[in-house]
C-alpha cells in the first residue's frame, strides 16, 4: 500500500444515496476499496449496494470504525460535509465536489490545520493505488502497479498520462489528483514530501497547469529536499491571459502563473519537463541513466 492510505483504510461515502454517490460507491467497491458505509442526513437505516447508511458522520464512525471519507455532495452542502468529517476525526477526506466558493475553502483550510485530518481536494478526482484501492472517480483500468508516483492538478490529464505510462510498461505506486481550485487541502509540496518518504516510490511525475504558483513552490521544494527524480508536464501553454482554462485556479493574472515561468523554475530545480504527455515515459527512462 502506498501514500495516504493503508490496508486499514475504512471508507464512508458522504452523499451515498445521491446519483453520483451511489454510482461511485459501486465503482470503488468493485475495485476493491473497503467501503464500510455512507452518510445522508435523514436516511439513516437505509442500505445502498449493501452498505449501511447513517444520518451523521459521527454515527458512521462509531458504528464502523471509518477513518476515511469521500464527499459526493453538491457545492452548497460540501463545506458542511467537510467540517462534519473533520469534527468526527476522519483522517483522510477526499472531496470531488466542484464549485465550492473560495471564501468557504479559505475557512476550511485554516480550520483543518489545527486537526489530525487531511483533505484532498476539492474538485479532485481522488486517488488510486493500482490494483488495490481507489477513493474517487479515476478509472481503475488505466493504472498498473509500479514505482512511479503521480500527482496532478488536472483530472482528465491525469487519466491520459497514467494510461500513457501504463501503455509504456511503467507502473505507478499512487496516482493523486490534488484538485484544480485556487484553495485546496493538500498541495504539490505535501504530496512530493509523501512520495519522497515512500520506500515504494522511485520517481515522480508532476502534472501542473497555468495559474497560481503551486508549481513554483514545488520547484523550490524539489531543489532543496527531493532526492528522487521528478518529471513534469505543465498544461495551458496556448491559453490566453485572463481566460480561465477549465479549473477555477487555471488562470493567468497580471502576467503571473505562465507556463514558461513554471517550466523555468522546474528546470532550474533539475526537473525534466515534457513538451507533451507522450514524451513523459522517455524522460522517466532518462532519469534512470
Instruction: For strands 272-273 and 230-235, give the pairing.
Output: parallel
Q: Which residue stretches of the chain are H helix?
A: 19-31, 57-64, 78-87, 102-112, 156-167, 188-197, 214-225, 259-268, 280-286
For residue 258, give the C-alpha cell. Answer: 505562465
Strands 272-273 and 145-152: unpaired
- Cα distances (angstroms) measured from residue 8 to each of 4, 34, 144, 199: 11, 9, 21, 19
Please, what's the b/e burial string for 242-266 (b: 16 or more CB within 10 A of its CB; e: otherwise)? Answer: eeebbbbbbbbeeeebbbebbbebb
Q: Which of 34, 77, 114, 247 is catalytic?
A: 247
Q: Is 247 a catalytic residue?
A: yes
Point out the residues that are catalytic. Answer: 247
Amino acid at each position: 500500500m502506498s501514500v495516504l492510505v493503508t490496508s486499514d483504510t475504512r471508507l464512508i461515502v458522504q452523499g451515498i444515496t445521491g446519483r453520483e454517490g451511489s454510482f461511485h460507491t459501486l465503482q470503488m467497491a468493485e475495485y476493491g476499496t473497503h467501503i464500510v458505509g455512507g452518510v445522508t442526513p435523514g436516511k439513516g437505516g437505509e442500505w445502498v449496494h449493501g452498505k449501511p447508511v447513517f444520518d451523521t458522520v459521527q454515527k458512521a464512525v462509531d458504528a464502523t470504525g471509518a477513518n476515511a471519507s469521500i464527499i459526493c455532495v453538491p457545492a452548497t452542502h460540501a463545506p458542511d460535509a467537510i467540517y462534519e468529517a473533520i469534527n468526527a476525526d476522519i483522517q483522510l477526506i477526499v472531496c470531488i465536489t466542484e464549485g465550492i466558493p473560495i471564501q468557504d475553502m479559505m475557512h476550511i483550510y485554516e480550520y483543518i490545520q489545527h486537526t489530525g485530518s487531511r483533505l484532498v481536494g476539492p474538485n479532485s478526482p481522488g486517488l488510486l493505488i493500482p490494483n488495490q484501492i481507489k477513493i474517487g472517480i479515476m478509472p481503475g483500468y488505466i493504472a498498473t502497479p509500479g514505482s512511479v508516483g503521480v500527482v496532478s492538478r488536472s483530472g482528465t490529464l491525469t487519466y491520459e498520462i497514467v494510461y500513457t505510462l501504463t501503455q509504456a510498461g511503467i507502473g505507478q505506486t499512487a496516482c493523486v489528483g490534488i484538485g484544480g481550485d485556487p484553495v485546496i487541502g493538500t498541495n504539490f509540496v505535501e504530496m512530493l514530501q509523501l512520495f519522497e518518504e515512500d520506500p515504494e516510490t522511485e520517481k515522480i511525475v508532476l502534472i501542473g497547469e497555468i495559474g497560481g504558483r503551486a508549481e513554483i513552490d514545488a520547484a523550490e521544494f524539489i531543489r532543496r529536499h527531493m532526492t528522487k527524480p521528478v518529471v513534469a508536464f505543465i498544461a495551458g501553454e496556448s491559453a490566453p491571459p485572463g481566460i480561465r482554462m477549465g479549473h477555477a485556479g487555471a488562470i493567468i493574472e497580471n502576467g503571473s502563473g505562465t507556463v514558461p515561468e513554471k517550466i523555468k523554475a522546474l528546470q532550474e530545480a533539475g526537473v525534466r519537463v515534457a513538451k507533451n504527455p507522450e514524451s513523459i515515459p522517455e524522460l522517466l527512462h532518462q532519469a534512470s541513466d
